[in-house]
Structure 1
Amino acid sequence: MDRGKKPTTFFANRNNKIYMDLKDIIRENTLRYLPAKSLRRCTSVCREWKLYISTPFFAHNQSNSFHDLSGFFCQSHSSQPSFISLDPIAYGVPDPSLKFLPEPVDIRCSSNGLLCCQGRTGYKAYYICNPVIQQWKKLPKPDANHGCDPALVLVFEPSLLNFVADYKLICAFQSDLDGYEFDIYSSAEGSWRTSGEICFGNRQIVPSTGVHVDGIVYWQSRSTVVAFDLTSERSTLIYSYSSGSLGKVNGKLCSASIQGSKLTIAELSNPYTNTMQMHSKTRAWSVKNVTLNDSVFAGQTDQKSVLFIGGKIVVIRLGSTLISYDTRTNDIKQLATEVDYDPRMIPYVNSLVEV
């Protein structure tokens, strides 16, 4: 009589086991791809998640897995730093003014969650910090004179095999021999070293334009781009397509500028054109023009400039307003209004990397 009946005794236990397995899968394979601000909310899910997210091992995994542009630290010459988030719900820092540092600072550059700041007092020391976890390190004083507005580039590439943040800080400074020399700080060595390379010529590097792409550091000059190879420690000059903002897009150096509603993005496709034969048709830059058809640009006579390009995001200054343009979706949105004159835009990744 009972031959056709199916057992139902262990259904509850099986469902519970499935739930636990799913929770473990989310914890082990999903959390590390979230930004730091979202992870802070995840700590309230359960005690197990809170302990897991607070471990150094998880911070290491998250810094290697999450690389999305999260927003910008914005600072003018006399103001305190502030943070503009691309998504305020997902991205943020607890203290955008960086008051946890031992003195007021100017933010100079960033790389994958780390900021390089320079103090405003004494000999104006350099600090490397992560504003999310509020860890910082003061660098030793360099022997070379970097000037009042140093041309700095921070290089930090997270590695699964290196649990300690291994970074370099490169500064191009004016040489007494009529050119530029390059000072290099290595966190592995804990000291500064001046390269033997000198980039000769009467040119003026724009300090805030430095960008790192695939082992090479670039700065914008008047009509050229100064490139310094970190492996060979040799410098070269590349013809500049425009005086626009330099950035990294799809692993290549790009330059972006705007005139009217036309956005011009030039990608460095061949950096060796200066070594090719005369009258060669090979061009250093491949150029793409985009017409920004949006009401925010219609009839605007305010001065426009590109402040940042990187990944899929272009930030445009329109008068006292900051506009972001997504090159993949063509979405245009307003980031901030009443921005100070000539702000420095420092890109930031919402990472848990430890200094």
Structure 2
Amino acid sequence: MDKGKNATVFMKSSNNKIYMELKDIIREHALQFLPAKSLLRCRGVCRDWKYLIATPFFVHNQSYSFRNLSGFFSQSSTSEPSFISLNPIAYGVPDPSLSFLPEPVDIRSSSNGLLCCQGHSGYNPYYICNPATKHWHKLPKPNNDHGSDPAVVLIFEPSILNFAAEYKLVCAFPSELDGYEFEIYSSCEKSWKTSGEIFLGNLKILPRSGVYTNGIVYWAGRNNRILAFDLSAERSQIHNGHGTLGVMDGKFCTASILRQNLSVQLLSNAYANTMQMYSNIKAWESHLFTLDRSVFAEGYPEEVSLLVNDTVILRKGKALYSYNLKTKETKHLGNESDDGKRRVVPYVNSLVDI
């Protein structure tokens, strides 16, 4: 009897060891889902957390786990970059003007915590940087002339199985054959490659309009046309559509203001143009969101600046607003300065190392 009781007590004491303390649970299962700014503050909690956050394995897990839109960089042709946070307490960067780079730059594109910037000197080199850590890398000179305002799209897809931060930079540049060609930089190969694909057609694409999703890069063109380039097949095609290009629920979409509504067109079939004639398959799905006029100063917004998943950035004059497609919440983010038309680039507050 005594031995049986003692054994029970022993097993109970042994089983208690499976329970973790709260600080250990947070360290092992929660920290990696926090944004970079919050993690830099968490380094002051204790020495254990400080060392953990600095390890390459943790940085890799955080860049894979945290994908939330944190804000956007804003820049005009005559100003240095600035950053507007969707939540200043949680999201931020130490140097929004990117003065840690070796020269003044223009922000061209972004992807999951990385920015693509272009310098003003020499051959206008491209820089890939992480503004949260101030780490950067200068790319070699492209093989082709990309023009003064290149249509480049940065592609970085974090993978739990790939420890290195591998990325690509895709540029659609004017061809001598009166169309567009495509040049691709690969961080794996550390070199540029010109695709054999040439798009021939009367189309003028808009720089800095490009987005990427599901293996395809899209650029907005004039006359309500969209140029698409499939990276794996290296084939291009045209879609009809208008508005600001974005990504919603992992699918390519366009967004525009339609009177008092926000109109979102979701591309449900990226290869609709290759279907047989008179096919019943619809290429686009329409979604309409009614905006609350009382939230905006003096009328409804004039344009959509960007759309990333559930978040839309709207512009009314110099005022910028965020609109959540799920909660329908609208928030005034602030006013832009009067130094010209600004372009905005989305940003994810990641620790990704390059």
Residue 209 of structure 2 corresponds to: 209
**Separation in structure 1 between the aligned mates of residue 251 and residue 18 of structure 2, nearest angstrom:** 45
**Separation in structure 2 between the aligned mates of residue 102 and residue 19 of structure 1, nearest angstrom:** 50
| Pairing 1:326–2:324 present | yes
Asked if structure 2 preserves the Cα contact closer than 8 Å seen for 1:256 and 1:266, the reply is yes
**Separation in structure 1 between the aligned mates of residue 275 and residue 33 of structure 2, nearest angstrom:** 44
**Separation in structure 2 between the aligned mates of residue 22 and residue 281 of structure 1, nearest angstrom:** 56
1:338 offset after TM fit, Å? 3.4
Amino acid at match of 2:89: I
1:298 offset after TM fit, Å? 7.0
1:281 offset after TM fit, Å? 4.3
Residue 4 of structure 2 corresponds to: none
**Separation in structure 1 between the aligned mates of residue 336 and residue 274 of structure 2, nearest angstrom:** 46
**Separation in structure 1 between the aligned mates of residue 65 and residue 160 of structure 2, nearest angstrom:** 9
CA shift in 2, pair 1:163/1:272, >3 Å: closer
Asked if structure 1 preserves the Cα contact closer than 8 Å seen for 2:72 and 2:83, the reply is yes
Q: Structure 1, residues 249-307: CA drift from partner, whole Å, max 9, x if none?
A: 11100100003321100000123332334344433211111110231347527x71111
Q: Structure 1, residues 44-103: CA drift from partner, whole Å, max 9, x if none?
A: 111111111111111111001100000001101110100000000000000000000000
Amino acid at match of 1:229: D
Residue 268 of structure 2 corresponds to: 269
**Separation in structure 1 between the aligned mates of residue 132 and residue 274 of structure 2, nearest angstrom:** 45
Asked if structure 1 preserves the Cα contact closer than 8 Å seen for 2:244 and 2:305, the reply is yes
**Separation in structure 1 between the aligned mates of residue 119 and residue 191 of structure 2, nearest angstrom:** 18
1:20 offset after TM fit, Å? 5.8
**Separation in structure 1 between the aligned mates of residue 213 and residue 185 of structure 2, nearest angstrom:** 18
Amino acid at match of 1:159: S
Matches within 5 A, 1:21-170: 21-170=21-170
**Separation in structure 1 between the aligned mates of residue 119 and residue 156 of structure 2, nearest angstrom:** 21
Q: Structure 1, residues 107-165: CA drift from partner, whole Å, max 9, x if none?
A: 00000000000001111100000011110000000110000000000000011222211
Matches within 5 A, 1:193-272: 193-222=193-222, 223-240=224-241, 242=242, 244-272=243-271
Asked if structure 2 preserves the Cα contact closer than 8 Å seen for 1:259 and 1:304, the reply is no
Greater Cα shift, 253-262 or 344-353: 253-262
| Pairing 1:284–2:283 present | yes
SS of the residue corresponding to residue 78 of structure 2 reads coil
Residue 345 of structure 1 corresponds to: 344
**Separation in structure 2 between the aligned mates of residue 108 and residue 83 of structure 1, nearest angstrom:** 14
**Separation in structure 2 between the aligned mates of residue 252 and residue 138 of structure 1, nearest angstrom:** 31
**Separation in structure 1 between the aligned mates of residue 324 and residue 280 of structure 2, nearest angstrom:** 32
Identity %: 60
SS of the residue corresponding to residue 295 of structure 1 reads helix
SS of the residue corresponding to residue 351 of structure 1 reads coil
Greater Cα shift, 225-234 or 264-273: 264-273
Greater Cα shift, 103-112 or 276-285: 276-285
**Separation in structure 2 between the aligned mates of residue 76 and residue 217 of structure 1, nearest angstrom:** 24
TM-score by length of 1: 0.92
CA shift in 2, pair 1:31/1:291, >3 Å: same
Instruction: Give the CA RMSD over aligned residues.
Output: 2.1
Q: Which runs of 5+ in 1 are unaligned?
A: 1-12
TM-score by length of 2: 0.92
Asked if structure 1 preserves the Cα contact closer than 8 Å seen for 2:322 and 2:333, the reply is yes
SS of the residue corresponding to residue 303 of structure 2 reads strand
Asked if structure 2 preserves the Cα contact closer than 8 Å seen for 1:72 and 1:83, the reply is yes
1:169 offset after TM fit, Å? 0.2
Amino acid at match of 1:282: I
Greater Cα shift, 157-166 or 131-140: 157-166
